[in-house]
Structures are given as C-alpha cells and as structure tokens.
Amino acid sequence: MASPRGTRRSRTLSTEALAVRIHPYAESSAIVVLLTKDLGLTRAVAKGAKRLSNGFRGPLDKCVLHNVRVSRRAREGLYHLTSASVREAFPRLRSETERFFAANCVIEIAADLMREEEPNEELFRLTTYTLKALDKAPRERIGLAATLFLARAAALSGHAPEIKTCVSCNESLHGELTPYLSPLRGGALHAACGQGEPGARPVAPALLELLAALWRHAPGPILTMDLPAASLRDLRILLEGWLESVLERRFRAAAPMERELARSAKKPRRSVG
Ligand SMILES: [Zn+2]
C-alpha cells in the first residue's frame, strides 16, 4: 500500500516501481523514469545513483520490481528518489535474449500507455504480472505472454478496439467474413461500411476472435493454452500497429522483439519445467 506522508511543504510516498529509462544527470546523479503503482509514470532525480555506497543496491535495474520512496517539495517539479530496494527480481529476463527483448517491449508500451502522475494500478499489475510470466514461462510461450499483455493493456488503458459491433452502423459484426479495422473510428466495421473509410484495413476474422478470447479468459489459464504461434504473432503486430496509431507513437522495442521471437522459434524446442 502507498503511504503518502507530508506537510504543506513536502510530500513523501512509498510505492512499487519499474525503471523505464535512466538518464545520467549532473556529476553523479541520474534522472529515472519510473512506472509506478501509485503515481503512474513519473520522473525522479536519484542523487548519487552512480555511486554504489548509498542506499541503492546498484543502479536501478530494468528487469527488477523495486520498492521505492520518493519525495517532492511543494514548488519542485521532479521527485527525489530517496531509496530503492529489490522487491522481486526476474533473473532470466537478463540472461536470455528473447525474454529480455520481450520485457523491454512490454515496459516501453506500458510506459506509453500510462499517464504521467495518474495511477493505473491494474495496468501496473498487468505489467509486473507479464514480466513474471516472461521470466518463468517456457520459451515457446513468450510470444503468447507478450500478445496477452498487448490485448489486456489496450483494454486497461481505454484504447481497445470495438470488435463486437460495427463502429459505423452499430449493427453486430457476427458472421462478417471480411471485417475492416479503423484506428480513426476506434474499431471494426463491416466490409461494406469499411471500404472507403480512410485508414481502414481488412482484418482476418480469426484474429478478432483470438483477441476476444484473450479478453474473455483469465490470464493464468490463457498462459497454459496451446494457441497457434503464427496467429499470436499476427495479432501482436496488429495490436502494436493499432496502439501506435491511436497513441501517435512508435514503439522502438517492438521490431527487435519480433526479430528475437522469430529467431527463438527456429531454435530446437526443449522442455522447460
Ligand atoms: Zn457496419
């Protein structure tokens, strides 16, 4: 639980955080961009972060869930990071490249979906849940964990496409053989309604059904399902493009993740317990 504390002149808060980016700052400090449970996306100055002798256990690691304490005086813009400790480590994200690239992509997209200083605890929980899954899941399920994250993160941030009813005529899309998808209109359309819509593209109905299934079932059971890797990849790429369109962002970590997952799929399958 968060424990806000403070006077009129300063505010101190303890929360859980993931490091998104770390920029060197001044002589021995850093500005860290944090994804937090209680403050949404936030920036904090970590004084002396490059020295190992202070309260930090080494520099903030991307593949670790931290307990942090931050404080800010009334008229200051940035928080000061006053302490950070490891809450949960995900060691295989560091040691296996496909897990690392997937984690990097998940953190980047979570940071783009999270608003500054506006908490979204469900999105934060989904992100840490996904990092745990990427750390623990058998290698052949990494793509599934990443696709599941994209599907649910889109919904938790209010950016999910409407896929049940046509966003143009409001009639059901049930049975539509060649639905279209339009980021501009916020969802799917009948072929007849989508043709001629600027930016609308045809989409395989099976991908919309897969997306509905990822929303319908709880994440735990989904991660044990045998879903076809090619459809999961196609849905991932569809959702990446969708979110890039609605957010007007480019996810730099998405293409490297896809390359690593494709490379990983060619490696001999092994059983991971
Ligand atoms: Zn329609």
**Confidence at residue 5, expressed as pLDDT on a 0 to 100 scale:** 58
* Cα 185 to middle of ligand 1, angstroms: 12
Residue 108 located in a structural domain: yes
* Cα 165 to middle of ligand 1, angstroms: 8
Question: Which pair of structure tokens corresponds to residue 90?
Answer: 């995900």
234 and 130, same domain (yes or no)? yes
154 and 227, same domain (yes or no)? yes
Residue 204 CA neighbour count, 13 Å, CB half: 11
> What is the pTM assigned to this prediction?
0.90
235 and 200, same domain (yes or no)? yes
116 and 225, same domain (yes or no)? yes
68 and 131, same domain (yes or no)? no
74 and 142, same domain (yes or no)? no
20 and 109, same domain (yes or no)? no
Per-residue pLDDT of the chain (273 residues; tens, 9 = 90+): 454 555 556 789 999 999 998 888 888 888 899 999 999 999 999 887 655 444 444 457 778 999 999 998 877 788 999 988 899 999 999 899 999 999 999 999 999 999 988 999 999 999 999 999 999 999 999 999 999 999 999 999 999 999 999 999 999 999 999 999 999 999 999 999 999 898 899 999 999 999 999 999 999 999 999 999 999 999 999 999 999 999 999 999 999 999 999 998 887 765 544
Indicate the residue among 89, 109, 131 that finishes a domain: 89
**Confidence at residue 22, expressed as pLDDT on a 0 to 100 scale:** 85
Count the domains in the chain.
2
* Cα 148 to middle of ligand 1, angstroms: 28
* Cα 160 to middle of ligand 1, angstroms: 18
* Cα 174 to middle of ligand 1, angstroms: 11
| Residue 256, domain extent | 92-266
* Cα 194 to middle of ligand 1, angstroms: 7
**Confidence at residue 8, expressed as pLDDT on a 0 to 100 scale:** 58
pLDDT tens figures, 11-67? 899 999 999 988 888 888 888 999 999 999 999 998 876 554 444 444 577 789 999
List CB contacts of 157: < 8 A, sequence separation 6 or more.
113, 114, 120, 123
Residue 105 located in a structural domain: yes
130 and 253, same domain (yes or no)? yes
Radius of gyration of the chain (CA): 21
List CB contacts of 17: < 8 A, sequence separation 6 or more.
34, 35, 36, 37, 65, 66, 67, 68, 84
Cβ atoms of 84 and 66 closer than 8 Å: yes
CATH number at residue 29: 2.40.50.140
CATH number at residue 207: 1.20.1440.120
Residue 34 region by backbone torsions, left for phi larger than 0, else alpha for psi between -120 and 50, else beta: beta
